[in-house]
Each structure stands twice: as structure tokens, then as C-alpha cells.
Amino acid sequence: MSERFIVEAAGRAVGLAVRCKGGFRFFASEPFLHRLENQVFPRFRALLRAVRAACPGAAEGGMVGSGHAAFHPGARA
């Protein structure tokens, strides 16, 4: 059974992270994240940093995370 996590930004789901060999593979559900589609990130926090960097409005204080593991933009991940 695979481990998968819904990735959220500013209170809405923006993609899915699936554990795979080498880390986590990202599947975008929002057009502004399609450039991250199918990329593998070595750690979940690295994936969240990439989403945060690509997310419109993240710099203005929208949260990026998954479930209980949400991170505020600008915080060290």
C-alpha cells in the first residue's frame, strides 16, 4: 500500500504527494503547479518548499502543508 498525502496551500488542496523510491513524487491539481508535476523530492519538506515557492500568495502568509504538518511561508522547513 502506498503512502500518499494531500498537499494544501492557502486552505485548499493543490496536489498529491506519493512516497516512492527516492522520496516523494508530486502530482499537481492546480495549473500553477504543473511545472512540479511528476518530480521526485528527497524529503516531504523539500516538496513543500517547492510548492511554497510556486504558490501565488504564499509570501503574503498563506499556509502550505499537509494535514497536521503545515508550514508557514518564511519558516525554516
As a whole number of angstroms, the distance between CA 3 and CA 11 comes to 22
Of residues 68 and 27, more confidently modeled? 27
Instruction: Specify the pairing of strand 12-20 against strand 23-28.
Output: antiparallel
pLDDT tens-digit profile of 5-42? 999 887 889 999 999 999 999 999 999 999 999 999 99
pLDDT greater than 80 at residue 59: no
Query: What are the extents of the domains in the chain?
Result: 4-65
As a whole number of angstroms, the distance between CA 66 and CA 5 comes to 7
Instruction: Confirm if 8 and 17 have CB atoms less than 8 A apart.
Output: no
How large is the average pLDDT for residues 37-50? 96
